[in-house]
Structure 1
């Protein structure tokens, strides 16, 4: 059994670093409770592309936490694809180290966070517990670390040109109601 139950692989440790950044100057008192919630399977996640919705039930309280990650740029996806053989089944720490040595960052970057709790703090207990729960899931399946950043979705979707990600919203004024639903008269 590994010494650290969260982030015992390099892929999962990237997620632990979201909860425990190295640049902190004092201990965060929420971390032990967040680890306890994740350890006791109190976080239930639903993943949709680069978005994660987590529900956390503790006693009579329930909270919903929403995380959205910044997708990898097409250039980064291409660089990763050239360094990981197509027949790779399992990503090891060696692959992570090789990517870092080559200057490719695969650590997640939070684009948007939101929680329904009353804390009104961007680093609430529920966000931290979600990071720990995701670290555990990624330790079990390191491909998830790349999938959460849009690595495999770039294979199936038309990737935008350049390094800019696709826009999150479509302005309503840009839609033509006569052709939007594909109905022609």
Structure 2
């Protein structure tokens, strides 16, 4: 059994920083409860492309949490493709170290998060528990760390170094009623 149950692989440690960023200056009081929820399988996750949707039921309350991740830029996808052998079945910590040594950033970037709970805080208990559940999944299957950032599941973005993100909302005045309803 690993010493740390969340993020015991190098791939999972990158994702653990979503819940436990190094820039926090004070302790986060929600982390122990979030770890407990994830540890006791209280998070049911659904992964669709670069979106993680989770359902958490605690007592009489239920919450739905969405995490949207940005995709890798085209240059990162090409650099990873050159580094990873085509017949790789599992990603080892050595491959992670080689990617970092080559200057490839594997750290996930959260494009947005949303939760249906009453907290109205981007770092609510449910978001943190979802992060821990995803870290646990990535520790079991490291390919998920790359797939959630669009490595294998989506076509490479256009020739830009900017990560591709999908806007969460469409302004109502951007829609043309004649073509929308016609």
TM score, norm. by length of structure 1: 0.88
Tell me how far apart the structure 2 counterparts of residues 122 and 166 of structure 1 sit (CA, whole Å).
21
- The alpha-carbon distance between structure 1 residues 167 and 2, as it changes in their structure 2 partners (threshold 3 A), is closer
Q: 5+ unaligned residues in a row in structure 1: which ranges?
A: 181-185
| Mapping for residues 1-185 of structure 1, pairs under 5 Å | 1-154=1-154, 157=155, 159-166=157-164, 168=166, 172-173=175-176
Please say if residues 37 and 43 of structure 2, whose CA atoms lie closer than 8 Å, have aligned partners that are also in contact: yes
CA offsets, 1:97-152, max 9 Å, x none?
11111110111110101000111111000000000000000000000000000000
Distance between the aligned counterparts of 2:124 and 2:165, measured in 1?
27
Taking only aligned residues, the RMSD between alpha carbons, in angstroms, comes to: 2.0
> CA-to-partner distance for each residue in 1:74-108, whole Å, 9 max, x for gaps?
11000000000001110011111111111101111
TM-score under structure 2 length normalisation: 0.89
- Structure 2 residues not aligned, in runs of 5+: none
1:15 Cα deviation (Å)?
Answer: 1.5
How far apart in 2 are the matches of 1:77 and 1:120? 35
Cα offset, 1:59, TM superposition: 1.0
Q: CA deviation at 1:162?
A: 2.2
